[in-house]
Structure 1
Amino acid sequence: MTAAPPHLVDLLTAIEASPPGPGIGAFFDLDGTLVDGFTATAHAGDRIRRRQARIGEVTGVIEAAMRYRFGRVNFAKLLERAAGYLRGESLADLDDVGERLFRERVRSRLFPAMHEVVLAHQRRGHTVVMCSSALTIHAEPVARFLEIGHVLCNHFEVDEAGRVTGRIVRPVIWGARKADAVQAFCGGRAIDLADSYFYADGNEDIALMTLVGYPRPVNPRRELAAMAAVQNWPVLRVTTPGKGSHDGLRGVLK
């Protein structure tokens, strides 16, 4: 059995020396933080392989993703465009697909070191929360596997028959709205953000990073990395099996 790298040991030791109890929150982003890449790509790929996606859907999602990347469409529009292709489908069936794809495609992309970080917070009795802009069908299977009991994420709007309408429940959780959702969650549970942790990789997560006492960028993208350098936030670099030594953290608390 491979020994844990020293930096991972240091990080876990720091968490286990922190005050215990549910008044401390440990908030985890999903895509790029707990999982290598985007969980939604597993669903898109599955629809293509099963020939459930028409060519217009494939090109439309690619176009929307590129427009989003270059700042020409907001995240809510991107999410609703993807939801529109699933209009009329049963949410229960989509939940089953999400669980299957987790087993087949996503579980192997979990960062082992981040699983250890989740477990460390759970051992301290902290309130562990997944807060993600992903949809329930992509976020909840990961949360169940990691035994994370609280999930703040986006939801499909459904009709009285439980079928997807093609719209997303508002407000869409992303950027500042994610920070709002976390603040509302904490307010109802007496969780002090000044004593809490947030692990995330995205530039859009800066809003929430600035609210917690222990911001922990994970493989941060450019703007978040720049903010981390200015604010002297510890940066975590994580890998999946086969992509780096120890399958764990490299340069933790860099």
Structure 2
Amino acid sequence: MSDPDAPIAGGAAAQLLEDVRNSPEGPQVGAFFDFDGTVIAGYSVMAFMRHHLRNFDVHLSTTLKTLAAGTQKLETEEDFRKFLQITGRTWAGRTPEELEQLGQQLFRDEIGPSVYPEAWRLVRAHLERGHTVVLASSATRFQVGPAAKALGIEHTLYTALEVDADGKLTGHPDGRTPYGEGKAAAVKDFAAAHQVDLDTSFAYSNGNEDVPFLATVGRPTAVNPSGGLRRAAAERGWPVVDFAGRPWSGPVEVARTAGTYAGMMGGFATGLGLGLIGGSRRAGLNMGIGLGGDLSLLASGVSLDVHGAHHIWDSQPAVFLFNHQSQLDVLVLGGLLRGNFAPVAKKELATNPLFGPLMRLLETAFIDRADNAQARKALEPAVERLRSGVSVVIAPEGTRSATPSPGPFKKGAFHLAMQAGVPVIPLVFRNTGELMSRNAMIIHPGVVQVAVLPPIDVSGWDAEDLDERVESVRQLYLDTLAHWPGED
């Protein structure tokens, strides 16, 4: 049974997906997405401003002027250029390389986790139809570039910034800004250059300044619209959809989260103790994992909706793969697998005050992602555990993903399975990042959806085609997330 509260499961958002999936195929159909407020919740520039304030490299007056300007109506290109002159002072004198690196860091840590799951699924649906997908924003490439890469979007329209003879930013825009009529003009130019038929194309935006932009295509949609755009959409007969926002964290959620961790540690200690009394350390570990998982999920108000659970038990030992989104994944794994597994994790977790001691008890293989030789050596005990009948759990991305899209998969998990002669079993977590975002500490109640895919036999794999094989497994995750079992 699927979660009835899943954001994309019904209503206008589901109709958007259905419309895309029934639309003509091919690159002549464009899909133009605004960024701030449409693909992500909030405004990416604020992540940059917070960073600069934390590092004392921006004047408070500039921040206050930015905030004040942001509260004013920016209806025209000229309004936006004046706003940009204020915010641009922050970046004057910096190199594009500095800002690219900062943009990637902020996307990973702050901006990426605010991507709307509904927007991600819409992007995936357009890509599957072979449409020409474009991130069209008045933001800079330092803001939209990392998002486009993570979402698999090839094309971007953005505000270019002027670079002086010394290779440093002046703080001024370079050319026309894609804002208001400027964005409409940029879309028309792009369509002409890429043979995109605007009459059959799609566009999505949240701001009333984007009415001209939306009007360039035959299939516009107002997404999370401002009051002005909502009125314009009603007048023009455009579809309107509101994506579900991130849940709010209050005292109840804080208390639940504290109870969650207490339940995890208390349940694990109790189970381990009972097992040791019975004379079996492994039985104690298994009992502790299951009891700790159950109590922590109960305290957090999180339940599991699992498709294909029988695959967990049919082919053990195995290397279980999971797409890593947040710390909630650890609790889900305990409640899902129950025991008889050992984790593989990055070495930084060994010193985590909450999970470190627990993971050492679970005989975790800690690997240094920056040292390939050490990583291979650290996996040797995991091979022995697999050969002794104990499964291994690993996040093939090596770190938490910033968006619902899994990042590139590393090959270690697959080498491990090949060496031990066991299958890999993909565990696809759909929405742990929605209930607990990437760097958050607070867990929100809800239903975590999990799809356990059939075991994959890797006995015939070899080094020559390993990259292609690994990418095919990652594609299984993307396909499952875009077409959830029981919903299509």
Instruction: Tell me how far 1:241 sits from its aligned partner.
Output: 4.0
Contact between 1:110 and 1:240, CA under 8 Å: does it hold in 2?
no
CA, structure 1 residues 232+59, in 2 after alignment: closer, same or farther (shift >3 Å)? same
Rounded Cα–Cα distance in structure 2 between residues aligned with 1:59 and 1:12: 40
Q: Which moved more, 1:233-242 or 1:115-124?
A: 233-242
Offset of 1:55 from its aligned partner? 2.1
Of the candidates 83, 88, 104, which is equivalent to residue 83 of structure 1? 88
State the match for 2:443 in structure 1: none
Question: Would you say the 8 A contact 2:75–2:209 is kept in 1?
Answer: no
Once the two structures are TM-superposed, the CA of residue 70 in structure 1 deviates from its matched residue by 9.3
**Does the CA-based 8 Å contact 1:5-1:246 persist in structure 2?**
no
Match of residue 162 from structure 2? 157
Cα deviation code 1:115-172 (max 9, x no counterpart): 0000000000000001001111111111111011000010111123321012111211
Task: State how far apart, in whole Å, the 2-side matches of 1:17 and 1:55 are.
Answer: 51
Query: Does residue 236 of structure 2 align to residue 231 of structure 1?
Result: yes
Conserved? CA contact 2:34–2:205, under 8 Å: yes
Equivalent residues in 2 for 1:108-123, closer than 5 Å: 108-123=113-128
Superposition deviation, residue 84 in structure 1: 2.0
Report how far residue 81 of structure 1 moved: 1.7
What letter corresponds to residue 107 of structure 1 in structure 2? G
Distance apart, 1:246 and its partner CA? 8.3
> For the structure 1 residues 5 and 188, does the alpha-carbon distance in structure 2 shift closer, same or farther, using more than 3 Å as the test?
same
* Residues 13-68 of structure 1 deviation map (CA, whole Å, 9 limit, x = unaligned): 22111100000000000000000010000000111111111222222222332345
Q: Hey, what's the Cα distance between the residues in 2 that align with 1:95 and 1:169? A: 17
What amino acid does structure 2 have at the position aligned with 1:24? V
- Structure 2 CA distance for partners of 1:27 and 1:123, relative to 1, 3 Å: same
Residue-pair matches, total: 246
For residues 75 and 207 of structure 1, do their structure 2 counterparts lie closer, same or farther at Cα, with a shift above 3 Å needed?
A: same
Of the structure 1 ranges 238-247 and 91-100, higher mean CA displacement relative to structure 2 is found in 238-247
Larger Rg: 2
SS at match of 1:30: coil
Cα displacement (A) at 1:85: 2.6
* 1:39 and 2:54 are equivalent in the alignment: no
**Contact 1:84-1:166 within 8 A present in 2 as well:** yes
Establish whether residue 92 from structure 1 lines up as the match of residue 92 from structure 2. no
User: Could you list the per-position Cα deviations for residues 187-211 of structure 1 after superposition, in whole angstroms to 9, with x for gaps in the alignment?
Assistant: 1121111100000001111002122
Identity fraction in percent: 32
Question: Per-residue CA shift, 1:58-111, capped at 9, x if unaligned?
Answer: 22222332345699x711111122112321111101110011000111111100
Match of 1:5 in 2: 9
Unaligned runs of 5+ in 1: 248-254
Instruction: Quote the residue 2:151 is aligned against.
Output: 146
Of structures 1 and 2, the one with the larger relative CO (CA 8 A, separation 6+) is 1
Aligned residue number for residue 107 of structure 2: 102
Distance 1:209 1:128 in 2: 15
**For the residues of structure 2 that align with 1:225 and 1:70, how far apart are their CA atoms?**
15
Q: Distance in 1 between matches of 2:167 and 2:245?
A: 36
Structure 2 residue aligned with 1:27: 32
1:134 to 126, 136, 139: 139
Q: Which residue number in structure 2 is paired with residue 195 of structure 1? A: 200
Structure 2, gaps ≥5 residues long: 249-433, 435-445, 449-488
TM-score (norm 2): 0.48
Return the match for 2:226 from 205, 218, 221. 221
Q: CA deviation at 1:225?
A: 0.5
SS in structure 2 opposite 1:87? coil
Q: 80-89 or 190-199, which moves further after superposition?
A: 80-89
> Which is further off, 23-32 or 48-57?
48-57
**Which residue of the partner structure matches residue 409 of structure 2?**
none
Write the distance in 1 (CA, Å) between the matches of 2:137 and 2:205: 9
Letter of the structure 2 residue corresponding to residue 179 of structure 1? A
The worse-fitting range, judged by mean Cα deviation, of 204-213 and 3-12 is 3-12
2:210 equivalent among 199, 205, 208: 205
Residue of structure 2 aligned with 1:180, choices 171, 182, 185? 185
Residue type of the partner of 1:5?
A
CA RMSD of aligned residues (A): 2.1
Please name the residue that 2:54 is paired with.
49
Q: Secondary structure at the match of 1:58?
A: helix
Secondary structure at the residue paired with 2:240? coil
Q: How far 1:11 moved relative to its partner?
A: 2.5
